[in-house]
């Protein structure tokens, strides 16, 4: 049984269909990536899941319970990171955490551990309005773990963070998965979802465009590896490779030779170059990523 | 004993614990609000000032009795307590919805009604502390300076101010639920402040003039319905409550006419009951509206 089950969800805001007939399932223990461009309806869907707004149609069930009917008992099992998380500015980090602990009716002795884990110990007496964006976001994720919930719903957990903190957050999310938590996270950063998630749903204009395992999504769309060579003489190499039928879109880019081909043919390309007596100074392979799936799906197939 | 036990059990339920937690948070939060501190100091300062200088207008300088002080203070408490209540209440929901902390709070296993109840309780406690400290300390200074102190009436005065504050907290919290931005909520609250004071007085005057003539009011013989309308106004209820119970205020009201308490066929308890209805109704409306409110 899926732990999160969304059926036929619709939500309209003054004539705009923000969510339009969405179905979605998340299995226990997986990291599900909810992917979509700005305005796709991710936040709206998540708010409906939490019970912050009501859908016009459709149902959300979490752990087999309808969130509209069992709101507060469902929320007991959820840790939620809002898109723009905000605390009580006049209260300190510690006071905010204590208050939230009281709301979940769980012991406060876990606060120390969480503040330590999220490297906020030295800021515990700071008023939360004086925290930087990165600290606020870390506190935001820390608070989702209050009461040790089984399900984490994170709305763009890495948005607006610098690369270091971003990496740190991603590591944290991975370790939470290892603890057996079910994680539902939204993002419009494709590489991130690819790195973190096992399964993704691609949302656009309130509709699910595709939903699959990260890997098979690539296969399904017959995505190609991107190869980049520093090779000499480059012109002749280009002429030769261009003639191969499994090589696609070859071009010269910043003094490099760039081309696309299926993953299993890339060895053949290299062999051709070596057999042809070319000097390969360097090369670089980029596996197909969701960027490509995304562009294809949301661009009406033009990509 | 058994009764006490079950009462203890009731208040230690999760629901009450969450309500008390929200209340505690509000108390903490608002005592860091410098306006609340400022208003408390103002209550304190004004009660002392009024006592000392209040009679200066009448040519007598020096300390005035506690009872007489109440008469003068009633005229500014009528504005100050509602203003403090509005400062506390108007933004309490709408600001948190705007800044996103409400979204976080409501993602926790707490019912929206509990949030409202906790907020009301907390804000009312803040207001009560401010009023009791401000007026109480003022009263203490005065009673040590003058003789024949009637403390009971002063206590009633403080209590009535706390109840009036409760009404305005309830009303402004309701506006805080209704409006989706703090500026509108504040404007609406200010309108309510004027509604039950200036606007009310002018309207009642106009109504009297148009229907039976203001002379009747001055002569203390307006029709019954004219008084019944007054009972719709919490400030008038509060004023009547005071006038019914505080002797110098009654004398003063009699002297100036128009607000003559003896014509009211109602007693203290009716006034208190009506004020409590004024607290309960906006709270119930808030509960209904907040439950439907979309947090986005
Ligand atoms: N309260 C609201 N009132 C009116 N329109 C809204 C409201 N909330 C969302 N919308 C609209 O619904 C659509 C979906 O918005 P939503 O915030 O769910 O997108 P999103 O996928 O989270 O985007 P982003 O990646 O930018 O966060 C948008 O067109 C947005 O303008
Ligand atoms: Mg969003």
**pLDDT at residue number A303:** 36
Average pLDDT over residues B72-95: 89
Q: Identify all chain B residues contacting A63, using CB atoms and an 8 Å cutoff.
A: none
Q: A245 to chain B, minimum CA–CA distance in Å?
A: 53
Q: Identify all chain B residues contacting A78, using CB atoms and an 8 Å cutoff.
A: 107
Average pLDDT over residues A195-215: 85
3-state secondary structure of A202: strand
Percent of chain A with pLDDT over 90: 44
Burial of B2 (0-12, 13-18, 19+ CB in 10 A): exposed
Average pLDDT over residues B87-105: 94
Q: Whose CA is nearest to atom 17 of ligand 1?
A: A43
Q: B18 to chain A, minimum CA–CA distance in Å?
A: 6
Question: What is the average pLDDT value for chain A, to the nearest integer?
Answer: 88
**pLDDT at residue number B228:** 79
* B289 CB-side CA count, 13 A: 16
Q: How many helices (H) and strands (E) does chain B have?
A: 15, 0
Question: What is the average pLDDT value for chain B, to the nearest integer?
Answer: 83
Say if A105 is an interface residue toward chain B (CB within 8 Å). yes
Percent of chain B with pLDDT over 70: 85
DSSP-derived pairing of the beta strands A65-66 and A57-62? antiparallel
Does the beta-carbon distance from B104 to A143 stay under 8 Å?
yes
Average pLDDT over residues A162-180: 88
CA atoms of A289 and A281, how far apart (whole Å): 26
pLDDT for A66-121, tens place per residue?
988 888 889 999 999 999 999 999 999 999 999 999 999 888 889 999 999 888 99
Question: How would residue B120 be classed by pLDDT, with cut points 50, 70 and 90?
Answer: very high
Q: A109 CB contacts (<8 Å, ≥6 apart)?
A: none
Token pair, residue A22, equals 């969405």
CA atoms of A109 and B4, how far apart (whole Å): 31
Average pLDDT over residues A202-218: 81
Chain A residue with Cα closest to B18: A103
B180 phi, psi to nearest 5 deg: -105, 0
User: Is pLDDT of B78 > 60?
Assistant: yes
pLDDT for B230-273, tens place per residue?
888 999 888 888 887 776 666 655 554 444 444 455 678 888 88
């Amino acid at each position: 049984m899926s732990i999160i089950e969304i059926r036929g969800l619709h939500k309209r805001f003054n004539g705009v269909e923000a969510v339009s007939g969405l179905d979605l399932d998340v299995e226990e223990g997986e990291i599900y990536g909810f992917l979509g461009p700005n305005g796709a309806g991710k936040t709206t869907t998540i708010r409906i899941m939490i019970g912050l707004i009501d859908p016009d149609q459709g149902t959300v069930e979490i752990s087999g319970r309808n969130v509209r009917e069992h709101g507060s008992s469902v929320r007991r099992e959820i840790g939620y990171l809002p898109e723009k998380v905000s605390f009580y500015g006049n209260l300190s980090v510690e006071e905010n955490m204590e208050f939230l602990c009281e709301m979940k009716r769980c012991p406060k002795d876990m606060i120390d551990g969480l503040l330590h884990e999220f490297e906020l110990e030295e800021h515990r007496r700071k008023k939360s309005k004086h925290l930087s964006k990165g600290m606020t976001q870390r506190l935001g994720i820390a608070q989702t773990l209050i009461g040790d919930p089984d399900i984490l719903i994170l709305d763009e957990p890495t948005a607006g963070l610098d690369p270091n903190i971003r990496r740190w957050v991603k590591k944290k999310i991975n370790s939470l998965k290892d603890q057996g938590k079910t994680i539902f996270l939204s993002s419009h950063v494709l590489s991130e979802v690819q790195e973190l998630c096992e399964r993704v749903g691609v949302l656009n204009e309130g509709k699910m465009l595709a939903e699959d395992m990260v890997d098979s999504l690539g296969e399904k769309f017959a995505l190609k590896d991107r190869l980049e060579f520093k090779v000499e003489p480059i012109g002749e190499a280009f002429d030769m490779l261009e003639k191969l039928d499994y090589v696609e879109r070859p071009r010269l880019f910043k003094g490099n030779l760039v081309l696309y081909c299926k993953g299993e043919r890339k060895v053949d390309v290299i062999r051709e170059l070596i057999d042809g007596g070319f000097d390969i100074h360097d090369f670089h392979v980029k596996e197909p990523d969701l960027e490509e799936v995304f562009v294809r799906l949301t661009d009406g197939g033009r990509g | 004993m058994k009764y006490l036990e079950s009462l203890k059990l009731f208040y230690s339920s999760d629901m009450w614990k969450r309500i008390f937690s929200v209340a505690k948070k509000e108390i903490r939060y608002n005592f860091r609000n410098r306006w609340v501190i400022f208003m408390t100091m103002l209550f304190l300062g004004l009660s002392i000032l009024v006592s000392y200088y209040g009679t200066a207008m009448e040519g007598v300088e020096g300390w005035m009795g506690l009872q007489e002080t109440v008469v003068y203070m009633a005229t500014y408490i009528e504005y100050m307590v509602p203003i403090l209540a509005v400062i506390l209440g108007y933004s309490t929901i709408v600001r948190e919805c705007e800044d996103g902390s409400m979204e976080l709070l409501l993602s926790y296993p707490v019912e929206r009604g509990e949030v409202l109840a906790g907020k009301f309780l907390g804000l009312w406690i803040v207001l009560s502390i401010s009023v009791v400290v401000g007026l109480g300390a003022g009263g203490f200074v005065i009673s040590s300076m003058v003789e024949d102190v009637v403390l009971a009436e002063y206590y009633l005065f403080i209590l009535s101010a706390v109840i009036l504050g409760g009404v305005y907290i309830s009303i402004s919290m309701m506006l805080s639920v209704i409006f989706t931005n703090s500026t509108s909520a504040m404007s609406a609250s200010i309108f309510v402040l004027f509604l039950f004071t200036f606007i009310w007085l002018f309207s009642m005057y106009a109504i009297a003039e148009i229907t039976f003539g203001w002379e009747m009011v001055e002569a203390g013989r307006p029709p019954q319905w004219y008084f019944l309308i007054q009972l719709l106004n919490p400030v008038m209820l509060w004023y009547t409550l005071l006038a019914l119970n505080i002797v110098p205020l009654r004398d003063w009201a009699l002297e100036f006419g128009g607000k003559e308490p003896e014509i009211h066929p109602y007693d203290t308890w009716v006034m208190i009951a009506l004020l409590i209805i004024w607290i309960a109704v906006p709270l119930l409306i808030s509960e209904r509206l907040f439950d439907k409110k979309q947090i986005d």
